[in-house]
Structure 1
């Protein structure tokens, strides 16, 4: 049986600020992110299986990514908790805002690494995460490939 890659795309709105950065992105701002999640595996070969012919049901992949990424990051503001932005984060939280404090600089590069770990931990054993593409703007994106790691 052949290995097949399938991809599901997601979108979410997230704000962030890059502490210590020397450009405009040091200010709080947001992006309309697009995330493409590609997994690889062999289609189910058991004709009696309800998901016969599928690598993974798209709805099962959607559930994983929504729970781990989209529902968490959508309409949240992300700050590195190891910077003075933690004071701003607390002020925003006190005012009812959805704030995430992470252990990394919330760049697309670091977010896609974080996302890869969260998704890999939830996939069935016979399915592997192949790649992620996190598009921050129409012309800028970060990619993660299992083969590079």
Structure 2
């Protein structure tokens, strides 16, 4: 079993988020929500140091869960995301003033842009031995966006 086998580890998450696409020419310009399903895959070599409590692991699933929950799930779950350049700023501030969770993103909150944002946040928290391999963000049962390190 010794060697430098690179193994991919995936953890899945779910969260509910509302958003509106400013300037879009379809129904999604209206505030609406999704039950997002997020899959985060990292790649690395399982630990071979027999004195390490994480022996045989690329990363403890619990450690990966902590990173993704803190960076993505907790901030985005039951929040409404608006492009910070939207004319809906008044609505966003009204929602915040009424105690709602609002994220003003510096991007259009599409699944494509969300995976770019999520990738940066997760990569910043990983040790150098572990690389982010891919992220899949499922917006509906039939639609998802993917980010792959090999493409970027």
**Bucket of the pairwise TM-score, normalised by the shorter protein:** over 0.9
**Can you list the C-alpha shifts for 1:73-106, whole angstroms capped at 9, x where unaligned?**
0000000001212111011111111100000000
Aligned residue in 1 for 2:59: 56
Query: When the two structures are aligned, how many residues end up with a matched partner?
Result: 149
> Matched residues in 2 for 1:119 and 1:85: separation?
29
Query: What TM-score does the superposition give when structure 1 sets the normalisation length?
Result: 0.99
Alignment match of 1:85 (pick from 62, 71, 88): 88
> Matched residues in 2 for 1:20 and 1:31: separation?
19
**Can you list the C-alpha shifts for 1:105-130, whole angstroms capped at 9, x where unaligned?**
00000000000000000001100000
CA RMSD of aligned residues (A): 0.5
Residue 124 of structure 2 is aligned to residue 121 of structure 1? yes
Where structure 1 has 5 or more consecutive residues not aligned to the other structure, the ranges are none
> Matched residues in 1 for 2:82 and 2:105: separation?
6
Ranges of 4+ aligned residues in structure 1 off by more than 4 Å: none
Query: What TM-score does the superposition give when structure 2 sets the normalisation length?
Result: 0.97
Residue 30 of structure 2 is aligned to residue 27 of structure 1? yes
